[in-house]
Amino acid sequence: MTASVIAAPPDSLEELLARSGQVAVEVSGAGQTAWNGQVVETVGEVLGLAHWDGTLYLDSECILDPLRQMYLHAGEEQPLPVLVQYRESLATLLHEHAHFLGPAGATQEAARGAFTRPGSRQLEEGVAEAWAQDHLNEYLTRLGVDKVAPGIEDARGGGYYAAFVPAVRILAADLESRGNLQPGEVLRALNQQTAEGQFPLLTTLVYNSTRLPDLEPSGTSTRDHLETILRQGFAHLDTYELAPTGLAAAQSRSTTTALLHHLSTEVHKAESHHTPTHELPLPPQFLPTPALLNTTHPTSHRLTFTPPAPPHSIHRSAPSPLQTALSGISPPAPTPTTPPPTHPAPTTRPRTAPKHLHR
């Protein structure tokens, strides 16, 4: 008879931190974490930071002290604001650990270089935050926090990165819908990548959700073109990072709507190069799913990606210096203008097998 050994849940902040990285790996299904096991307690400046050397920086007053209190009062009933404070601290912990996750063999050096490319920061923050929000309760349960702070699973606070999270969710849900994938599967797959692999994976998912893999020969520039469009769209989200949460989320949604339409247009153009006119699908294949995008379509006739203007109620005729500066941090790369090469149309095959997440 084999006795299974189940470790007792952490009963102190130190134990919680010690296990926090491995549990994040388990919940995420990622191949590894780049966390080096070090935690630096900061005072007043950094709230939470996954540093490139693998060190985790966490703020004393806002993150670690509430968790000390949580273990000091383990098992006791707490008022909702206290539970929310605990939960926010743990949400930050999981979010930062998400930055460290990656496939086996991924390096921080490669991730670091990729993080500076247009759109990478916005995508990674949006993925880390959305995934952490969705899996926080599982994380808390595995760490035994639900017993230490009864009721914490229902003590929901507001999320962060409102400019980035809706975009990630809309794009992921759209890809899951058209690819017959399980809800949450795209977000999970993106979260298992470092910045090095996130945009290549996203581009592959977009490309594979079209008829292009069946129509095009290998080696065309279509995928690069789609990646450029995706990066431009995410880079633009910087503009809304300082806006109030509701406005930032609304602009994130409308920007993603425009982004999806731009992708649709470009995919349709690429498909038309390889398909006889009478076989072209109508309407274009890559349109946002109405159920996923419950907004009006502000850019239904645009052929180039033009982010939507903020609503008139904002009374901003020009971007603020902060918005201007944010939009310049990751300038988009120029969009390739070379059309996909023309060649004889191959035989069109029906889409049968579900698309896969493998790159």
Partner 1 sequence: MEHSSHTPPHRTQPDHARLTFAEPAHAPLNVDPPNVAAPSRSTPAERQARTDWLVTELRRLAASTDNPHEQANLRRSADSLIRLATASRP
DSSP character string of 54-67: SPEEEEIIIIIHHH
Using CB under 8 A, which residues numbered 287 to 316 contact partner 1?
Answer: none
- The continuous run of DSSP H or E covering 136 comes out as helix 120-142
Residues from 29 through 68 that contact partner 1 (CB under 8 A): 32-33, 35-43, 45-53, 55, 57-60, 62, 64
**In terms of CB distance, is 116 or 289 closer to partner 1?**
116
Binding string to partner 1 for residues 157 to 176, with x set by CB under 8 A, is what?
A: xx-xxx--------------
**Residue 184 makes contact with partner 1 by CB under 8 A:** no
DSSP string, 246-311: HHHHHHHHHHHHHHHHHHHHHHHHHHHTTS-GGG--SS-S----TTT--S--TTTT-SS--PPPPP
Residues 72, 76, 180, 242: which binds partner 1 (CB under 8 A)?
242
Is there binding between residue 101 and partner 1 (CB under 8 A)? no
Neighbours of 160 (CB within 10 A): 18
22 binds partner 1 (CB under 8 A): yes
Shorter beta-carbon distance to partner 1: residue 17 or 27: 17
Measured from the CB atom, is 88 or 266 closer to partner 1? 88
Helix axes 80-100, 120-142, angle to 10 degrees: 120
Query: Dihedral (C-alpha) 323, 327, 329, 335: value to the nearest 10 degrees?
Result: 180
Single out the segment in contact with partner 1 by CB under 8 A; choices: 20-28, 134-142, 197-205, 221-229: 20-28
The tokens 């006795």 sit on which residue? Answer: 3
Give me 9's structure tokens: 């849940």
- Residue 79 lies near partner 1 (rule: CB under 8 A): no
Q: What is the Cα–Cα distance from 139 to 245, expressed in whole angstroms? A: 26
Question: Does position 107 bind partner 1 by CB under 8 A?
Answer: no
Kindly give the interhelix angle for 108-115 and 120-142, rounded to the nearest 10 degrees.
Answer: 130
Q: Could you tell me the CA-to-CA distances from 253 to 11, 205, 330 in Å, in that order?
A: 41, 20, 20
Selected range binding partner 1 among 12-20, 180-188, 261-269, 310-318, rule: CB under 8 A: 12-20
Closest CB to partner 1 among residues 38, 180: 38
> Is there binding between residue 103 and partner 1 (CB under 8 A)?
no
Give the H or E element holding residue 205. helix 195-208
Asked if 327 interacts with partner 1 (CB under 8 A), we say: yes
The site for partner 1 (CB under 8 A) is made up of 13-14, 17-18, 21-22, 25, 32-33, 35-43, 45-53, 55, 57-60, 62, 64, 88, 92, 99, 112-113, 115-116, 121, 125, 157-158, 160-162, 241-242, 245, 321-322, 324-332
